[in-house]
Structure 1
Amino acid sequence: MVTGAGQGIGAAVTRALVAAGAVVAAVDRNPGPLAALAEEFAAEPAGGDPAAGGVRPYVLDVTDAAAVESAVDLVERQLGPLAVLVNVAGILRTSPAVELTDEDWAATFAVNTTGVFHTCRAVGRRMAERGTGAVVTVGSNAAGVPRAGMAAYAASKAAATMFTRCLGLELARSGVRCNIVSPGSTDTEMQRALWGGDAEAAERRVVDGDPAGWRVGIPLGRIAQPADIAEAVAFLVSDRARHITMHDLYVDGGATLRA
């Protein structure tokens, strides 16, 4: 199951997992992008087996606890036990901290933190009972390094990160691994919404850094692509990472100097 699968990093994660042979329950609250993603994998699976790979779309708002429980039940009835959960669904509301509205703060935490809690609770409980599973939460390097104008986003991602690590500690003896992938600036619609009109100039500012905003640039000299994040997720949910849990993997080109 991949949340926020309709676009950006979620869509890239979905493609990477399908390429690795998984059948993915792609979850998003927006049916349009979700349908477009599913259309990429619309061909009938080999032998007509409905669980033989590809994408199955499920419209879901992760802020709705009851809906999450129902969706997880439905997915497991239709596709079988969930072996992997990837939490990607997220929103960004930018504002100076002292000017944040109650609505922006609550909405940010509802998706970025409480949504992770809802899916992890529903799926993690079932994984623990079966004694196997892998959870990855896509966080942000903003959870570890302050960002001007991003207080709600950074705080929500920090909370989701620590929740996932605590979950990993609690479920470790059950054989369930829980990790975090923390991207830096990545070429997605969310990122481009911050750039305004001149995308090329804005990208250059991100790569070079912004002393006025107390922001270090990207030492590797490029903005991440969603596939860069997806590859890290695919590794952490695979058996190649079987001895890794509670880890927070920064995929940011060195932007935070791993502070």
Structure 2
Amino acid sequence: MTIPSFDITDRIVLVTGSSRGIGRTIAEGLAEAGARIVLNGTNSERLESARAELAAVHGNDRIHAYAFDVTDDAASEASVATIEDEVGPIEVLFNNAGVQHREPLLDVSLDDWARVITTNLTSAFIVGRAVARRMTHRGSGKIVNICSIQSDLARPTIGPYTASKGGLRNLTRAMTAEWAGKGLQVNAIAPGYIHTEMTQALVDDENFNGWVLRRTPATRWGKPTDLVGPAVWLASDASAFVNGQVVFVDGGMSVVV
């Protein structure tokens, strides 16, 4: 029996929203597994800093950075074309870019609603389509959308985020329905509560932190590195017959009441 390969050596991977946070950790983990990484963000200074730090470990020829707005269709299409010309064919895309907005639904402005939906959901369609146009032509490729435990569950004050991540779950299914037959595997990772600089205020909130620990069977917050193993698996040939799935990395929170 031949064991499916988890090797992603030299595989070209684009990770959106990867200058910091979860995207940065996923990119770093994939680089350590041998992939060639293309970082993305809109803050050019922060993006270059991230590129330089990773390149110091993995080499300038293995770590690249392209600043573009993933919510801009024309800019994304042009940037994907440039990446493929200058770095090589994108073999794996991680749609990670996202924002949060905490406010009761009755008070959310339409502008804030649209900003969250556009950044978290529409950008995955925009970049995913730009990359898939080339992947389907080649007959192979992988897309991994970063969803959330809020793809299936909801709690007060994050309605736009919940709607966007639920939409991203079903966009993953729609992409599968249309592109699996053309050689693509499209899946998603759904993190639970992950301790990052963006969630530090929640960790510091005694009541909220206690709720997370009681609600999570593993009785801890997740770490960004907890997402690296599933990311490597979905980026590798070992997941060649996995399509349209949402892999929850949440310490068991989504399976208990």
* TM-score, with length taken from structure 1: 0.89
Which amino acid counterpart does residue 31 of structure 1 have in structure 2? S
Query: Is the 1:13–1:231 Cα contact (8 Å) retained in structure 2?
Result: no
Rounded to whole Å, the distance in 1 between the matches of 2:187 and 2:228 is: 14
The 5 Å alignment of 1:149-168 reads 149-168=157-176
The 5 Å alignment of 1:121-160 reads 121-160=129-168
Rounded to whole Å, the distance in 2 between the matches of 1:70 and 1:199 is: 43
Rounded to whole Å, the distance in 2 between the matches of 1:181 and 1:220 is: 18
What SS is found at the alignment partner of 1:256? helix
- Runs of 4+ residues over 4 Å off in structure 1: 43-46, 199-202
Alignment CA distance shift 1:248-1:44 (3 Å): closer
Alignment CA distance shift 1:258-1:85 (3 Å): farther
Does residue 1:203 correspond to 2:209, yes or no?
yes
What SS is found at the alignment partner of 2:252? coil
What SS is found at the alignment partner of 2:255? coil
Alignment CA distance shift 1:193-1:61 (3 Å): farther
Rounded to whole Å, the distance in 2 between the matches of 1:34 and 1:194 is: 26
Rounded to whole Å, the distance in 1 between the matches of 2:78 and 2:201 is: 33
- Structure 1 stretch displaced more, 173-182 or 16-25: 16-25
* TM-score, with length taken from structure 2: 0.89
Query: Is the 1:38–1:56 Cα contact (8 Å) retained in structure 2?
Result: yes
What SS is found at the alignment partner of 1:203? helix
Q: Given the alignment, which residue of 212, 236, 239 partners 1:238?
A: 236
Which amino acid counterpart does residue 67 of structure 2 have in structure 1? V
Gaps of 5+ in 1: 209-216
Report the CA distance between 1:33 and its aligned residue.
Answer: 2.7
Does residue 1:33 correspond to 2:46, yes or no?
yes
Q: Identity percentage over the alignment? A: 34
The 5 Å alignment of 1:28-177 reads 28-43=41-56, 50=61, 54-177=62-185
Residue aligning to 2:254: 256
Which amino acid counterpart does residue 209 of structure 2 have in structure 1? E
Deviation track 1:147-170 (CA, whole Å, cap 9, x = no partner) reads 111110010011111112110121
Residue aligning to 1:222: 220
Report the CA distance between 1:202 and its aligned residue.
Answer: 4.3
Q: Given the alignment, which residue of 174, 188, 191 partners 1:183?
A: 191
Residue aligning to 2:37: 24
What SS is found at the alignment partner of 2:253? coil
Which amino acid counterpart does residue 90 of structure 2 have in structure 1? L
Report the CA distance between 1:36 and its aligned residue.
Answer: 2.1
Gaps of 5+ in 2: 1-13
Report the CA distance between 1:248 and its aligned residue.
Answer: 0.6
Deviation track 1:185-241 (CA, whole Å, cap 9, x = no partner) reads 00112222445xx35664333212xxxxxxxx1100111111111221221111111
Count matched residues: 244
Query: Is the 1:9–1:230 Cα contact (8 Å) retained in structure 2?
Result: no
What SS is found at the alignment partner of 2:198? helix
